Structure formats: C-alpha cells, structure tokens
Structure 1
Amino acid sequence: MNLFNTKPLDRIIRFIERLYYLLVILILLVACFNIFYRLGTSPIRSWDEARHGVSAYEMIRSNNYIVNTYGYLNDYWNLKPPISFWSIVLGYKLAGYTTLGLRLLSAIAGLATIFIVAWFSFSLYGRIESLVSTVVMTTTMPYIIDHCARSGDSDSIYVLFFTIAILSLILFEKNKNWLYVFGAAFAFAFLTKSWHAGNIIVIGIIYFFVRKMLFKIKIKYIIGAIISAVIPVLIWIILRYQRDGLNFIKTMVGYDLIARSSSCLEGHTGGLTYYVDYLQGNYFYWIVVFVSGMLSFFILLKKYISNKNYVDGVTLMCTWVLVPFILYSIVKTKINWYILPMYPAMAIGIGITVSIILKEQERNILSQLFIIAMVTFSAYKYEVIISQNISIITMDSNQELMKVIGNNLEYKGKPLYMYNCEREQNVFLSAELYADLKPSNEGLEGFLKDQTKNAMLFVTKDQFNKLGNERYNLKLLLEGDGAYIFIK
C-alpha cells in the first residue's frame, strides 16, 4: 500500500464538495433537531433561566420594559441589561406563556449562530471547511444543552452577537464598514450580558495589533465604530437612570464586575485548571481534532504564510479562543458557560485545519484517514449524548402543580405564598406562566395575614415537616410528589 497515494480519498472529497448544498442542509436539519426537539417539554430550571423568565413576564404585566423585576420589585441580583429579557418577552408573544416561549428566541439565536459559522466558513474558505465547522457546532454538547441554545438564558443571544462582532474583524479588510458592525454587535452583546462583552474589545485590539493594523485604521472608521458601540448602551443607561438613578449601574460595576472578578461569588469555585477540566469532560474529542489541526497548520506554516485568508483566520480563531479562556481562568468566579463564546471559534478553526490536512499535497493517506475518523467519531459520540439528553426528560411535579391550578379559574391570578421563592425560582416562574399567580416569599406568616379569597400556600414536604404539630387549620388543595398547596 502506498501511503502517499491520496487519489482515492481525493475523489471522495471532490464528490462531497459537489454535494455541499445538500449536505449542509442535512447538517442544519440535525441542528434544528438538536435545538428544537421537545424544547418546550423539559422543566424550567431555577436561577438564571427562571429568573430571566420572571423578569420578562413581569415586564409584560407591568408594561415596563426598562427595569427588570422579580416579584414586581426591582431586581438587583440579576444585573443584566434588557436584551435577554426582551427576547423572552418576544418569545412569550409568539408562543404564549410556556416553556417554549421562554426558550424560543434562545433557540433561534443558537441556530442562527450555527448558520453564520457555516456561511462564513464557506464564503472565506471553502466547502469542506464549512461542512466540518457546521458539524462541529451542531454537535458541540455544551453549546446545545448547557445554558445556551436550549435554555431561556442570555447566553445564546450573547454568543450570537459575540460571533458577529468577531467575524466582522476579518470582513473589515474586505469592506471597512464592517467595523461599524463590530461596534454595534459589541453594544448588543453588552446589552445582553453586561461586562462579559469586554472580551470582544480585547480580542479586537489583540487581533489588529498582531496583524499590524491597529494604528493603520482611518480615524473616521474608529470614530464610527465607537459611536455604534456607545450610542445603544448610552440610550439604555439614560432610560434606566430615569427609573432608579444609579442604583442598578453602581451594582453592576461593584458586584457583577469587581466582586465577581476578584472573589468567588455564590459558591462558584475553581482553580486555574477549572476550564481545562471542564473541556476534558465535555469537549475532549473535538479538542483532539482542534489540536491536531493546529499542529499541522504550524508545521506547514511556511507554505501557508502567503495565504492571507488562512493566516488571518487561524490568528483570529486562536485569539478568539485564548482571550476568554485565559481571562475567565484568572477571575475568581468560575462558571462553565462563561467560555461559551469560544465554541464558534473552535468550530471554524477545526474546519480550516481539517481541510488543510485533507488537501495538503504533502499529506499521506494515513493522516487523511486519521482526521476523517476523528471527525466522524467525535460527531457521532456527541450527537448520541445530545440525543439522549433531549429525549429523556424528567418532569418536575412541583411545576406540574402550577399547571393544575392554571386549569382552575377559581384560583387563577390569586396570591401564592412560598417559604423560599429565592430557592424555588422555577416554581415561582411556573406559577406566573401557567396560572398568572402572584408569588410572594412572605411564607406562612404572610399567608395567615392575607384575607384574599383563595390565597394559597406552597410548602415543600420537607418544609411542611418543620411546621410541627400546629397545622394552623390548613386545608389541603393539591398534593404533588414533593410539595403541598394549602388554602385556609
């Protein structure tokens, strides 16, 4: 067997390229399945998803789209600007007060990011690059199922704006107006996830510096980019200031930026290797492909140094990956979804370098077979995990109780007192979505004082056991596997 005889595989590669449009459509259909299948079936998750969902619901009910509230009180724990709330508001308008409405715009943004990766890779590099990049994004498990595309959080929309901003840096050399897009995308990323968007500016400065372009950009483009970045944020700050002064802005700076960077908040601990360990457990096989491809590129660097597209692409992808990875490894608060913006860069980088291995003249059939096997195995492995995760759903009996109340007009819209609505945010949101209840954290004491007809008390079974022998003549309305709902 001649190890340098690559003609058989070359013919297969050319055949695949001829089928590009059919294959990319099939991959995008798989992406649709991974993102939308049973999207509205899985229970609401507490904390970020539920918190965002409550704020969006209460924006509609109070007709106040500037200040995010929780229990109709200004929320100074969730310190995100309004775009993530607005996206859920739009989801509710399109799909109703349901978990589908809660997640719909995140899912659309997730699919849009995959489409942009496919389009960008195809436009600047080629068909194999596009197919591989799209497969990688479609089967990136953290991106699909962990706080992103299938979740009513801010991250999927943030990653979309982040991706648009960074890809604009390469497109800037083809059309200078893309720098305005960079600025606007930064603004929308900031208005989605606050200070996290700072990564975009750092990546832009480093990329232009490495490419020796930083001081060659005409001042009119720099001013235009600054204006497009500042004006949307400034408008929001002015509108927010009119509602509660500098309270929200000061808390954003003091807590969400300074405290979160310098200390470990809310139990999110981890050392310098936190994200290395996370990627090993959730992205290991794609990391192997990425590293193999990058090594091949640098080994062959002399041959590709004159190809500006490849050099710019690999330079940008490496910067795009390393900046958030290093910055979030340094800060004290560690959360695995902080590095979500890395995944489009990894996918495009894998697409570029896999194509080099497959098409490079000095390759041999063993290297081709290895990289094809790794891409196939990685895609299959993670697709199986994603399919299992989205197919096996365990319902939350406490949230199901809220659906039952929603079907009873006698109790719909009534007060619901909870022992700890901070910890039971998923129940809080389901109470609002399914029955338009008015949850309160005043617990038993508030319930006993309330003279409203059909006011209710939500008590988990563990909490109920702590009430002791005195049951205050409570009448059981509903019982679930984990909780009771009482009336007087």
Structure 2
Amino acid sequence: MRPFRETEWLFTLLIGALLLWLLCLGNSPLRDWDEGTVAQVAKEIWRAAFGSLHWLYPTLGGEPYHNKPPLMHLLIAWCYSLGGVNEWTTRLPGALLTALGVPLLYLVGILLFNDSLPALFSALVYLTTLPVLRHGRLAMLDGASITFFLLLLFCLLKSRQQKPWALGVGFCLGLITLTKGMLVLLLGGIAGLFILASSPLIVLNNLYLWVGIVLGIAPAIAWYIAQWQYYGSNFLQINLQTQTFDRIAQPVEGNTGAPWYYLIELLKYAFPWLLFWPAGFYLAWNKRYASWSRLILIGTIVYFVAISLITTKLPWYVMPLYPFLALAIGAELSEVWRNQVINRKVWAIFIVVMALAGLCGGVYFIVVQEEPVLVAMAIVLTMSMSLAAWLIYKCDRRFIPVLFSGMYLVLLLLMSSQSWIWELNEAFPVKPVAALIRIYVSSGTKIYTSFAYSRPSLNFYCDCQVIPETTLILQQMWANNEYLLLDNATLKNLNLPMTKVLGSAEDFSLIAP
C-alpha cells in the first residue's frame, strides 16, 4: 500500500477537523460569559435596519459595545440571516475558522521542518487537544485569532520562496486586530522576533511585506478612528484602557490568579500531549539554530511569560500557546517514530494514570450521570490508554497512532454528548427561565433579579435585560412597578404585598409589576 501524499493528509486533516468541530455544535445552550455577550451583539447587528451603520457601531443591550472589534460578531450576524438565531449558527463561524487551523498548522509544519512527518504529528496533536477543540467550538474569538496567526506564519514562511506571499502577513495582522484587538501586538511581536532570529534580510527587504502591512492594517486603523470620532474619549477609555491595558496591571472583573495559573491550566487539560512537551522543548533547544526550533522557543517563551505576568487571568488566554506546544510535541514524536527512543518508565506511568482515570470516570458516569455516550467515552479512553501504555513499555512506536486515534474517538464522543460545556452546571439552566420571561414580558424590558450576578446568556435567550440587585433595591423596584425575577427563598422573605406570580421555572418566579 502506497503511503499518503501531502495533499491527501491535508484533506484528511480537514475532514477530521470539520467533523470534530461541527458535530452536535448546537446541542447545548450558550455559555456565560463570552458566548452570551458575543451572541447578543451579533443579534443586535442582525436586527438593525438595512443600510444602517449598526455593523460599524455595534451595541450590547442598546448601549455602545466597546470591548472588541466586531469581525466575529458580523460573521455570526450573517449566519443569523441565513439560518436563523440559534446555538448552531452562533457557534458556526468560530468553529469553522478554528477547524481550518488544523490543516493550516500542517502546512506551516511542512514549511518549517521541510518534512511532512513532524508536520503531520503536530497537526494531529493540535486536532486532539481538548482546550483547542472545546474553546474553538464556542462562540468566542480566540480560535479564529489563532487560525489567522497560523495563516500569517504560513504566508511568512511561503514568502521565502515566493515573495508575493508576504502580502498575506499584513492582511492577517489586520484580521487579528479586527477579531481580538490588541492581541495583535503580542502575536505580531512574536512573528517579528521570529523574522529577526531566522532570515531578517530576506523578509524585511521584501517590498510585498510592507505593502501588505499597510493595506492589511488600514481597515483596522480606520475602525478605531471611526469609533474615536463617533464616541470620543469614552471609546478610548473603555476599549484601550479598561478592556486592554488595565488587564496588565490589575484584575478586570475580579479575574486574577497566581503567576503559575496557566501552568495549572495546561496540567489540567493538555494531557496526554503535555507529557511529551518537555522532551520536545528540549529537542528544540538542542537544535535552536534551526528555523522551526526558533519559532517554538520564541513563541513559547514570549507568550507564556507575557500572559503569566498579566494580572487578569482567564483560561482562554492560554489558547495561542497551543500551536507552539503542538509543533514541539510533533517534532519529538517524529524523533521517537524514527529512532524508537522511548522514555518507558515516565511515559508509561502517566498513561496508566490516564487509563485509571478513564476507568473511574466510567464508573462515575454509570452510577451518577447515566449518560451512555460518556460511559462509552470512558471505555474508549481506558482501552486506548492501556494499550498505549503497554506499547510504550514494549518500546513499540505504534503507541503514537494508538494515542492519536484513541484521543480522537474520546473527543468525538465527548462532543456528541451534552456535557462538553460543563460550566453550564455552575448555575441554573437559562432556557426554561428565558421561555417563561418571553411569554409575559416584551422585548427590551428591564427585569430585576435576586440572582447573584448578571448572565448574558439569559439576556440573549429572553431578549430582555435581567439585572441583579440587592434585596433593598428589589423592594424599591417593586414599588416602582418593575418586573422581578425572584428565587423562592427571596420571594418568601420579601413578603411583597399584592404579589402577582406570572409563572415559575427552575426555582425562580416571575413577578408582575
């Protein structure tokens, strides 16, 4: 049997990624916080009158939205116009763009390594890394930003052979800016350091690069200028200071953590591939004069140090690190495949631990959760990790395809379940409560609730603004003839006179004014 060609592997990776990222994409409600916010902004763009400038000056709950540029919101609004407002259309643009990052990483790897094997292993690691898949399926901005960055790297590497490809570097910088704002400074800085460390004269003397930067960044600069002219200093205060540079020195909205916060995130969710990363990073250091190793070292060190020093800590900030980790791990696994030098004891022990975790998970899912697809997932994880551990112990390189296939099946089963967004269990389900509100309350109405914090997903589904308030304020709102959404304990304690309960859902009662 002849081996796969590069184009065949590229097509296989694309199909495998699309299946993972699109499978049962709309089977779970939107998550707080980013999903609900992004969806609401997109819905308000979609609802705006044709020919209006709402797409240029987006709003959230009728108020100016200054957090991020609206590229992803515009794509979601376009999907709403084609397929209606639902979870699937909300998540589709981000999922598609993130899935395209898998074959793109393969192409980047081929240009970096000048070898298809480490490129293939890198793409497969990226494909089967849980945080990349899970956050890429959510209606968030990070997966698309990473794909644009990978496209930037591809254009940059390709321009060494064909100079016009350098035009794409500037356009990718513009796309990153219009998606994630000032993240472009960090990712663009990494690309710039890589240029200086590898082939500065070839790239920097390329006129196409500078023309592309001017043309690509121009729309993003024009958007920022338009916001500044329309909103004045208020936009600069919120977008650039509060939502961007303040995150460096102080925790925004209470999101903070220790300097090793992201190391813990990697330890929690990046297995089994994190097991091979130390050897991959050491390999890159030993071959640090190679172009591929310099990209891995610069990208990993600069990005990880940067996000670790930022005071505001959020789990998805670590996402752009995964392509660099995947390249390092892909290089190490290709060395193992060719030379069969296997660290038997350490690797086998950790893989056995994962197999035991799968076994314990299977027992838990049978006894507590009673979701058959999760039981099947636990069985597949236990069997594949057990087989991989045995092959590692026997110094058999076939443990690598066993790990890839096992992890792919595990993630396929997880994504087909309704448990892939486990944060939904942290608070009450919003859809039944939103359905109750839609029956009795007109769109855009303000409702005051006893729940502890605001939930953007609830606002999205009920098409109203549900505002959390203290007991004292709730009493005042009742006196002012406002709608209230009260949990049963608060309703009993307030003892409101002449209370008219319109209906109840999930231990909440909707009170008429």
- The answer on whether the counterparts of 1:93 and 1:101 sit within 8 Å (CA) in structure 2 is no
Q: Is the 8 A contact 1:91 1:101 kept in 2?
A: yes
2:109 aligned with 1:142: no
SS in 1 for 2:237: helix
For the pair 1:459 / 2:482, whether they are aligned, the reply is: no
Deviation sequence 1:5-37 (CA, Å, 0-9, x none)? xxxxxxxxxx68337766665554443343222
CA distance in 1 between counterparts of 2:266 and 2:401 reads 17
Equivalent residues in 2 for 1:75-474 (5 A)? 75-76=65-66, 79-122=67-110, 125-145=114-134, 148-213=135-200, 217-218=204-205, 220-296=207-283, 301=287, 311-359=290-338, 363-364=339-340, 369=395, 372-373=398-399, 376-377=402-403, 380-381=406-407, 383-384=409-410, 387-388=413-414, 390-393=416-419, 397-403=429-435, 413=443, 415=445, 417-419=447-449, 423-432=454-463, 438-439=464-465, 441=467, 449=480, 457-466=484-493, 468-474=494-500
Q: Deviations over 1:323-361 (max 9, x none)?
A: 2111101111111211211222322333344224433xx
Given that 2:280 and 2:329 are in contact with CA atoms closer than 8 Å, whether structure 1 keeps it comes out as yes
Shift of the 99–73 alpha-carbon distance from structure 1 to 2, 3 Å rule, reads same
Could you say if the C-alpha distance between residues 293 and 129 of structure 1 is closer, same or farther in structure 2, counting changes exceeding 3 Å?
same
Q: Normalised by the size of structure 2, how large is the TM-score?
A: 0.77
Separation in 1 of the partners of 2:468 and 2:203? Answer: 61
Correspondence 1:486 to 2:511: yes
CA 1:458–1:243 in structure 2 vs 1: closer, same or farther (change >3 Å)? farther
SS in 2 for 1:34: helix
**1:255 Cα offset (Å):** 1.4
SS in 2 for 1:232: helix
Q: Aligned partner of 2:315: which letter?
A: N
In 2, Cα distance between the equivalents of 1:46 and 1:188? 25
Q: Within 1, Cα distance between the matches of 2:92 and 2:203?
A: 42
CA contact (8 A) 2:454 2:467 kept: no
Distance 2:170 2:341 in 1: 45
User: 1:264 deviation in Å?
Assistant: 2.0
Contact conserved, 2:166 with 2:208, CA < 8 A, in 1? yes
Which is worse superposed, 63-72 or 375-384? 375-384
Q: Is the alpha carbon distance of 1:285 and 1:475 closer, same or farther for their aligned partners in structure 2, counting shifts above 3 Å?
A: closer
2:218 and 2:197 map into 1 onto residues whose CA distance is 28
| Residues 207 and 319 in structure 1, CA contact (< 8 A), matched pair in contact too | yes
Greater Cα shift, 55-64 or 365-374: 365-374
Aligned-residue sequence identity (percent) comes to 20
Secondary structure of the residue that 1:149 maps to in structure 2? helix
Equivalent-residue separation in structure 2 for 1:441 and 1:269 (angstroms)? 24
Distance 1:447 1:82, change over 3 A: farther
Whether 1:73 aligns to 2:105 is: no
For 1:8, the equivalent position in structure 2 comes to: none
Q: Is the partner of 2:204 in helix, strand or coil?
A: coil
- How far is 1:381 from its partner? 4.7
Q: What is the Cα deviation at residue 136 of structure 1?
A: 1.1
Name the count of aligned residue pairs: 446
SS at match of 1:17: coil
- Kindly tell me: are residues 215 and 25 of structure 1, through their superposed partners in 2, closer, same or farther at Cα, counting changes over 3 Å? closer
Structure 2 CA distance for aligned equivalents of residues 287 and 16 of structure 1: 32
Q: Distance in 1 between matches of 2:245 and 2:404?
A: 39
For residues 204 and 134 of structure 1, do their structure 2 counterparts lie closer, same or farther at Cα, with a shift above 3 Å needed?
closer
Q: 1:135 to 1:215 in 2, by over 3 A?
A: closer
Residues 412, 118 of structure 1: CA spacing in aligned structure 2 closer, same or farther, 3 A cutoff? farther
The 3 A distance-change label for structure 1 pair 212 and 282 is same
Deviates more, 1:440-449 or 1:233-242: 440-449
What is the SS of the residue equivalent to 1:479?
Answer: strand
Local SS of the residue matching 1:484: strand
Higher relative contact order (CA 8 A, sep 6+): 1
Q: Structure 1 residues 372, 316: closer, same or farther in 2, change over 3 A?
A: farther
Q: Flag structure 1 segments of 5+ consecutive residues without an equivalent.
A: 1-14, 306-310, 433-437
For 2:328, give the aligned amino acid: G
8 Å Cα contact 1:268/1:334 also seen in 2: yes
Q: Flag the 1:319–1:484 CA change in 2: closer, same or farther, 3 A.
A: same
1:181-201 per-position Cα deviation (integer Å, ceiling 9, x unaligned)? 111111111111111121122
* Pair 325,472 (structure 1): closer, same or farther in 2 beyond 3 Å: farther
CA contact (8 A) 1:44 1:50 kept: yes
CA distance in 1, matches of 2:147, 2:450: 35
- Answer whether contact 1:398 1:482 (CA < 8 A) is retained: no
Residue 391 of structure 1: CA displacement?
Answer: 0.7
Letter in 2 for 1:388: L
Offset of residue 215 of structure 1 = 8.8
